[in-house]
Chains A and B, each alone.
Chain A
Amino acid sequence: MFDPDQLSVEVVQILDENGNGDERQLAAFSDEWLLRAYREMRRARVIDERLLRMQRQGRIGTYAPFSGQEAAQIGSALALHKDDWIFPSYREVAVCLMHGMPLEQFFHYVQGRLSGKRMPEGVNIFPTQIIIAAQTLHAVGCAWASKLKGEPHVSVAYFGDGATSEGDFHEAMNFAAVYNVPVIFFCQNNQYAISVPYRKQTASRTIAQKALAYGMKGVLVDGNDVLAVYETMKQAVEAARRGEGPMLIEALTYRLGPHTTADDPTKYRRPEEVETWRAKDPLRRLRLLLERRGLWTEAQEEALVAQVNDEVTAAYEAAIASKSGSIVDAFDCVYSEAPKLLAEQKDEVMRRKQRSGVR
């Protein structure tokens, strides 16, 4: 008999909340790598905070912030090759930036421009997914194709804890394990699906353990420890590349901000809870380690923040300065070739545009 209470729950952690860790494990990470991880996380945090402010100022549309989840996102993305495929939800901005999405392109997206939907060629990121869990199946199909074609690429589906209740998640896990495809299910368990807390989402103690029922490996990792996330992801990716099939990774983390800019989290969670998690901030703990090693100073921090802020400003200005696109373009990406009735509608819109242009 399987007794859920008897299942052992181990959390992979390398760096604790105070930036301490087992020296032997830490030795696997070069100073250069640690600095890179920190810089990327700090960059992501600055971008996230700016985007949040810009939304409040009415300069961009609805936005789903990810502050608190930088280690999960950056740590996992750092373990991927450029040719690997990413299937994000709407919250994986840091992952997408890390994997090659230009920041300017993201501004097109949050400004609601058609151009924001098109990833540049060669950047293997699927469009932002709004339907919860739908992308998990796309990732499995993509990984399946890699396997059939004999290409060594891994596909990663990113999703939240709420997504694990959807049927598509279960169908995806099942297909992936049955066909033994190189896909990684990367769940950022940030404790909430909008306002619904984890304990109301599922009765299983962890998400990672759900892997067992499908016949694949599951790992629970401290999602605020970028070292542990990277190491776990790296092992999963290498195993998948070797043909050992899929893996489910649960990164235990916390969304510090609201679900989206349309959400008020004070309605469903207490400030003390947020404070508890602030103490586990993924940036803070890596910074403590870097400072202790004499690798990082306040001056460096300030310089980096200023530099990223300039980068954000430049990307935003480039986005608004470029053409915003027209409804006419929308007709061109429905079918490979527009059917007659659609082409007629496009003509109608163009005629209307020309008329109002003349007036």
Chain B
Amino acid sequence: MAELTMIEAINEAMRQEMERDPRIIVLGEDVGENGGVFRATDGLLAQFGEGRVFDTPLAESGIIGTSIGLAINGMRPIAEIQFLGFVYQAMDQLAAQAARIRFRSAGRFSCPIVVRSPYGGGVRTPELHSDALEALFTHSPGLKVVMPSNPYDAKGLLISAIRDEDPVLFLEPMKLYRAFRMEVPEEPYTIPLGQARVVKEGDDVTIIAWGATVPLAAKVAAEMQAKGVNAEVIDLRCLQPLDIDAILASVEKTGRVMIVHEAVKTGGFGAEVAALISERALFALSAPIVRIAGYDTPYPVPSVEDDWLPNAERIVEGIETLLRY
């Protein structure tokens, strides 16, 4: 088995799926010759040619809007939004058009597109390159929202996303693109959308995370283990559909919950998870739910982003707070 980075795993998923299904096309800014600014689409143009891989004009709404038309007329587009902060340009086409086509046509048309986008901080990008905006889209019925946290999951989830009949927003944590390598099976495989993964079992506290914060949560949990705290870490992998059963099973076991995400705290998806737990497992809780998240400011400048992002210190403090109850 090859050891791949996340970006290599993503590339492999697209390549293998394009080999399998001639309806799949890739489009976006700089995805052709350049292979994507992060090289996610490297080599696809050379292998599949100009009839399958398109360097589009610089227009996000155009990329998503035409993908919708392509999809309803039988193609399976994989569109790239170069950085998630630019998704606002295409907000209507994603949230109001792609997400709702099945509904708007009462089931006559579906919109099987995948929109891939790098997101997230810690890599010193310019303004509006690092924002974690997943909550905007979990609030848009009809979209699926997938956020992998390692190379193995990235490949399996992306293949599932490509084969899915619904529009999927596939958010790739930029920071993890090349952060580590992992064994990834060469043959195509799928991970069902909507199945969380237990990263580490434990029975003292539950840490729920997704995307970029998963390795951080896992690292802190491993360190706490040495101090006698047995934390369970759950990687949601998918926010929509959400694996509520995995969340509840863990909450019932530990009674203490921490949610860790990068997006700003107010209105973040963590609030949704906390609300669901309070609706369904309030009496299993021994302590108030703790949320560790980005602060309620726009994503800050590089010199201070490390103090803005959730970090080990804040997670440890949060766990200590939970355990004091």
A339 beta carbon closer than 8 Å to chain B:
yes
Q: Is the CB of B56 within 8 A of A148?
A: no
Least CB distance from A203 to B in Å reads 22
- Docked complex: B102-120 residues within 8 A CB-CB of A: 102-110
Task: Return the contact of A117 from the options B104, B141, B142, B165 (Cβ within 8 A).
Answer: B104
Give chain B residues whose Cβ lies under 8 Å from the Cβ of A138.
65-66, 68-69, 72, 97
Residue of A nearest to B245 (CB): A340
Secondary structure dominating the interface of B: mixed
B185 beta carbon closer than 8 Å to chain A:
no
Contacts A144-B70, A149-B73 supplied; 8 other A-B pairs, CB < 8 Å? A134-B65, A137-B66, A140-B69, A142-B69, A168-B61, A171-B65, A339-B194, A340-B244
Q: Is the CB of B194 within 8 A of A142?
A: no
Question: Given the known A-B contacts A127-B104, A141-B68, A145-B69, are A336 and B165 also in contact in the complex, defined by CB atoms under 8 Å?
Answer: yes
Task: Return the contact of B61 from the options A137, A332, A340 (Cβ within 8 A).
Answer: A137
Give chain A residues whose Cβ lies under 8 Å from the Cβ of B57.
171, 174-175, 178
Task: Return the contact of A142 from the options B51, B54, B70, B245 (Cβ within 8 A).
Answer: B70
Residues of B with Cβ closer than 8 Å to A? 25, 51, 54, 56-57, 59, 61-62, 64-75, 77, 92-93, 96-97, 101-110, 141-142, 144, 164-166, 194, 240-242, 244-245, 276
Give chain A residues whose Cβ lies under 8 Å from the Cβ of B69.
87, 137-145, 155
Residue of B nearest to A108 (CB): B106
Task: Return the contact of A141 from the options B66, B105, B109 (Cβ within 8 A).
Answer: B66
Q: Is the CB of B102 within 8 A of A141?
A: no
Least CB distance from A152 to B in Å reads 13
A118 beta carbon closer than 8 Å to chain B:
yes
Task: Return the contact of A149 from the options B59, B74, B93 (Cβ within 8 A).
Answer: B74
Q: Is the CB of B110 within 8 A of A341?
A: no
> Complex: how many Å from CA A116 to CA B107?
11
Among A115, A155, A171, chain B packs the most CB atoms within 10 A around the CB of A171
Q: Which 8 A-B pairs have the closest CB atoms?
A: A141-B69, A137-B65, A339-B241, A171-B62, A118-B106, A145-B73, A141-B66, A142-B69
> Complex: how many Å from CA A181 to CA B10?
30
- Count class of interface residues, chain A: 35 or more
Give chain A residues whose Cβ lies under 8 Å from the Cβ of B103.
117, 330, 333-334
Question: Given the known A-B contacts A134-B96, A172-B65, are A333 and B106 also in contact in the complex, defined by CB atoms under 8 Å?
Answer: yes
Least CB distance from A110 to B in Å reads 15
Secondary structure dominating the interface of A: helix
Least CB distance from B43 to A in Å reads 21
Q: Is the CB of B97 within 8 A of A336?
A: no
Q: A114-155, CB under 8 A of B: which get 1 and which 0?
A: 111111010000110001001011111111111011000001
Residue of B nearest to A128 (CB): B104
Q: A164-186, CB under 8 A of B: which get 1 and which 0?
A: 00011001101100110000000
Least CB distance from B87 to A in Å reads 14
Give chain A residues whose Cβ lies under 8 Å from the Cβ of B241.
335, 339-341
Residues of A with Cβ closer than 8 Å to B? 85, 87, 114-119, 121, 126-127, 131, 134, 136-146, 148-149, 155, 167-168, 171-172, 174-175, 178-179, 329-330, 332-336, 339-342
Q: Is the CB of A171 within 8 A of B61?
A: yes
Give chain B residues whose Cβ lies under 8 Å from the Cβ of A118.
105-108
Show 16 residue pairs from A and B whose CB-CB distance is below 8 angstroms, ordered by the A residue.
A85-B73, A116-B106, A117-B104, A131-B96, A134-B92, A141-B67, A141-B71, A142-B72, A144-B70, A168-B92, A168-B93, A175-B59, A175-B62, A333-B105, A336-B110, A341-B241
> Complex: how many Å from CA A342 to CA B150?
28
Least CB distance from A208 to B in Å reads 21
Among B102, B107, B142, B244, chain A packs the most CB atoms within 10 A around the CB of B107
Question: Given the known A-B contacts A118-B107, A127-B104, A175-B62, are A340 and B67 also in contact in the complex, defined by CB atoms under 8 Å?
Answer: no
Residue of A nearest to B72 (CB): A142
Q: Is the CB of A333 within 8 A of B107?
A: yes
Least CB distance from B56 to A in Å reads 7
Give chain A residues whose Cβ lies under 8 Å from the Cβ of B68.
137-138, 141
Q: Is the CB of A174 within 8 A of B102?
A: no
Least CB distance from A170 to B in Å reads 8
Q: Is the CB of A140 within 8 A of B244?
A: no
